[in-house]
Every structure is written in C-alpha cells, then in structure tokens.
Chain A
Amino acid sequence: MDSLLNFSNAELHYDHVHALRGVSLNINEGETVALIGANGAGKTSILRAITGLHPISSGQVHYKGERIDGMPPHKLVEMGIAMVPEGRRVFPFMSVKDNLLMGAFSRSDSKQEVKATLDSVLTRFPRLKERYKQAAGTLSGGEQQMMVIGRALMAKPTLLLLDEPSLGIAPKLVQDIARSIVAINRDEKVSVLLVEQNSRMALRISHRAYAMTTGEVVLQGDSKDLLQDDRVKALYLGGEI
C-alpha cells in the first residue's frame, strides 16, 4: 500500500504550550486510521497541522509524496484534504443547501459535477434533504454532524479528517455516523483519519490506530489488536460501554 499522508517528527507550539512533541504517523491510501487519546493529548493539533490551520515548528508533512507543511489551508483543500472540525462548526445562519455548497467552494470542475456530488450526499444523508432549506443552526446535533460530514464530502476529498464526530451526539446516532464513515471509506475510496474519544467505536471501524498522551504517540497498531490490548483497555476503553 502506498503512503498517502506522512507526518514525521512534528513539533507544534501554541505560544508557551508545547502541544506536539515529535509525533509521527502515517496513513496509507484507502485506509481508515483512528487517533485516540484523552483531552488535551494533541489530536486536534495534528489535524490543524495537516490542514495548514496551525504551522508545525519542526518536522515534515508529506501528502501524495509532496511536502505540504507551510502550505495555506485553501491549497490543501484543493489538493483533496477535507476536514470536519471539532464542534462541527456549521455556518449557523446559512441553509443546509448553502452549507453543502460551501463544501464545494474550492472545486474547479463544472456545476453539473458539483450537483452530482450534492445528490450523492443527499442520498447518503436523507435527513439533510428534509432540512434542505432550513438554517443549519436550527438542526439537532446529530443532523449538524451529518451535514458537516456531507459538507466535507462536497469537496470530493482524497483524505477526510474527522475530529470527534461522536461528540455530544445521541448513542443511536453515533451508530449511524459510524456506519456512514465505514461506507464513505469503502464506497468513495476516501482515506479517513478519525479522531475520537469514543475509542471503542473508533477502533471498531478503523484498520489501524494511534494512541496519544500529552503530545506523544504512545501506542500504534492494527485496530483489532489494540481492542484486545490490556494497556489500551486500561487507558482508553475503561468505563465506556
């Protein structure tokens, strides 16, 4: 398998906070990779570094063999990296339709092709069709989450970064969202980096996983092995059923 994204030896700072301390991880084409870890471990920081929202202070990031650290977010979207940010970040006063169309903002292909993607997103998430003209801020948390995943898919990404899609969502809907992530990875050949605190769900639907504590990757391996790993059980799966 070819490497799609390679994140090597990256350090990242916020003013005085040293958030990433030499983190390396790799995503191969077609894979779903989970990234688990407690609050403040640095998961979101990795995603911010990949999308160019925050610069790394040392290390390198390669995507499709090209060095991408230092590139601005809009370039990276054009290259096929889409992100669903933590806390959903819908455009609250825009309709579901306009939110989805914003997802296609960076695309340079024809209107018809954008329309085709829009139709496929609406087929994947029929709830969005019912709420099509409604302001996104009035949707339920679960519906918003589906919408922002749809919004990211509108960019026709090669790599999809998901930051805690299960956060604050009813258990029943978490199941639905987990299923859609599997389906997206399988049907659309999109590679996925899934950041989750719901480690059990993340490990069940991913091929491989990395576990972090305070700025460092401490464990990595195949997800099915990690699910059985005693250290993982103790650190990341305890208490959650």
Chain B
Amino acid sequence: MEQVIANGLYLGAQYALIALGLTLIFALMNVLNFAHGQMYVLGGFVTYVIYGQLGLPFVVALIASAITLAAVGALIEIYLFRPVIRKSHREESTMLLAAAIAFFLDAVILLLFGEKQRGVPKILDGVLNWDFRIIMPYDRIAIGVLAILIIAAFILYMQYSKTGRAMRALAQDRVAAQLMGVQVDRYSMIGFAIGAMLAGVVGGLLVTITGVNSGIGGPISIKAFMMVMIGGAGVVSGAIAGGFILGMAESVGLTVFSGYGDVTYLIIFASLMVFLAIRPQGLMGKPWG
C-alpha cells in the first residue's frame, strides 16, 4: 500500500510538471500544444548528451535542458504561432500547426539521436528500504523531490512575481490585460518558453530513471492531454490534480492488474471517456485560477 502511494507520488510529480507546461500554453494562447511530448524528448536528449556522454554534472545538464527548451519554445512562438494567430482566427489553424511541429521535432530527434533507447548513469546509488513497506531507490526519491520543488517554485512564481501576475491576467482577460499595459506578444512568448521549458526539464529528470528514446514523444503528449482532460484545461490546480491522479492511477493499476496483462491504460482510457461524458470541463474546469 505505502509502496503504491510512494510510486504514485513520484510519478504524479513528473506528470504534474508536464501538464503544467501544457496548460500554461493553453491558458495564455488558446493553443493545444501537440508537440509537448516531443519537447520532453528533446529535453531528455540534451541531458543525455551533457550528463551521459560529456560527463558534466547532472545539474548542469538539467539547466541546459531547461535553457534549450525555453529557447526552442520562444522561437516556435515568435516565428510560427504568432504569425498564424495574427492571420487566422480559426482554432484549428494553431492545432494543425502544433501537430506539424510535433512531426517535425520527431523527425529531427530521430535524425540526431537515432532510434535506440538511451540511458545515463544513475545520479545516486543505493535504495531506501523502510521496513519493507516502501522500497525506493534514492535516485527516484531525489528526482521526485526535485519535481515537487519545481512545481512549488512555478506556483510561487505565477502567484507572486510581476511576470506571473501578468500571465494570469492575460489568461483571464486579454483586453483588460492589454489596458494594464501587458504586451500580449511578449508574454505569450514568455509563457510558451516556460511551458516548453517545463516539458524539457521533466525529460531531463526522467532520462536518469527510465532513459529516453526518440519514439516516446507521442505517448507523452497523450498522457499530458489526459491529465489536462482530468483536471480541466488552463487551470494550475487542475494540471497538478490531473498529474497526481494519473500517476496514482498508473501506480495502483500496475499493482492491482499485474496478473491480467497490460490492461491498466485500457481501464484508464475507458474511465476517462465516461468521466468526460459526465464532466467535459474536467475537475477544476474554469479559466486560469
């Protein structure tokens, strides 16, 4: 039991970070970023190269993942989403663009890093064994704690910094935010960069545990969208709830249904459909709060 909860929390923290990035981009720009999983993969490979191959400290690699993805996010917003949003008021335009970016990043990642599964040396050795009730390797604990700290930092930043407040204002009322002097272009760019950065950071964190391969971008995007469906799009608390619920469901499912083959995700998908039919806006469905 404790073991299942511990696994769920560890997984949930990673998932929540992924969902936060996706929901931030959605809240600010009304863009569904289908390329979110690919950004995660890119972040994973940056850490793989810098920590795994060049042998620099893990923290340096993680920061490099963050900076690279922030830059990629900013460039994508400036040169792709911004002109499209300016020219077209139809929502599918940005969706199709996001899908195209996902395909493109998939191809780039495959070309640069090949299709092999890549892993890196453990960041910490040893295993915590608490009375055989929770058995967890120290590196997982460290990665879990790191993820929770980043979530906390993100929330504090959104809540108390001037930039965070401006992004919330923009998400809640675009026109009023403009009248306060918030530059839509600049803050959309910052938001997109932060969203992409969060995806890249989780990629960097998880490469140390599960490794990374060029094909997992799509599946990660799917999970990110599921979390947002559970929690409600564009809401911080919803993204966090969605992340932890999915992490917990996965952890419980893998334990409970271990005898029945790979049915966990089948059951999660089925429950999600029923849930959405009843509550399409998700648990906390409301604009950014």
A interface with B by C-beta (< 8 Å): 51, 53, 72-74, 77-78, 82-83, 85, 89-94, 98, 101-103, 105-106, 135, 151, 155
What are 5 sample pairs from A and B whose C-beta atoms fall under 8 A apart? A51-B179, A74-B183, A93-B172, A93-B289, A102-B166
Q: A74-B182, A105-B181 are in contact. Are A89 and B288 (CB under 8 A)?
A: no
- Interface members, chain B 143-175 (any A CB < 8 Å): 162, 165-166, 168-169, 172-173, 175
B interface with A by C-beta (< 8 Å): 162, 165-166, 168-169, 172-173, 175-183, 286-289
The interface residues of chain B lying within 8 Å CB-to-CB of A77 are 179-181
The reply to whether A105 and B178 form a contact with Cβ atoms under 8 Å apart is no
The reply to whether B172 and A74 form a contact with Cβ atoms under 8 Å apart is no
Q: A77-B181, A93-B289 are in contact. Are A105 and B176 (CB under 8 A)?
A: no
Q: A74-B182, A83-B179, A93-B289 are in contact. Are A105 and B162 (CB under 8 A)?
A: yes
The interface residues of chain A lying within 8 Å CB-to-CB of B180 are 77, 102-103, 105-106, 151, 155
In the complex, besides A51-B179, A74-B182, A90-B176, 7 extra interface pairs with C-beta distance below 8 angstroms are A78-B181, A85-B175, A91-B169, A91-B172, A102-B165, A102-B169, A106-B181
A89's contact among B162, B176, B287, by CB below 8 Å, is which? B176
Tell me, in angstroms, the Cα distance from A51 to B180 when the chains sit together: 11
Tell me, in angstroms, the Cα distance from A176 to B273 when the chains sit together: 51
The reply to whether A102 and B177 form a contact with Cβ atoms under 8 Å apart is yes
Tell me, in angstroms, the Cα distance from A106 to B169 when the chains sit together: 13
The B contact surface, by secondary structure, is helix
- Return A5 CB to nearest CB of chain B, in Å: 16
Tell me, in angstroms, the Cα distance from A67 to B166 when the chains sit together: 28
Tell me, in angstroms, the Cα distance from A135 to B289 when the chains sit together: 9
The interface residues of chain A lying within 8 Å CB-to-CB of B181 are 73-74, 77-78, 105-106, 155
Tell me, in angstroms, the Cα distance from A92 to B287 when the chains sit together: 9
Q: Closest B residue to A93 by CB, please name it.
A: B289
Most chain B CB inside 10 Å of its own CB: which residue of A90, A92, A105: A105
The reply to whether B173 and A90 form a contact with Cβ atoms under 8 Å apart is yes
- Return A206 CB to nearest CB of chain B, in Å: 22
B179's contact among A73, A94, A98, by CB below 8 Å, is which? A73
The reply to whether B179 and A82 form a contact with Cβ atoms under 8 Å apart is yes
The reply to whether B289 and A85 form a contact with Cβ atoms under 8 Å apart is no
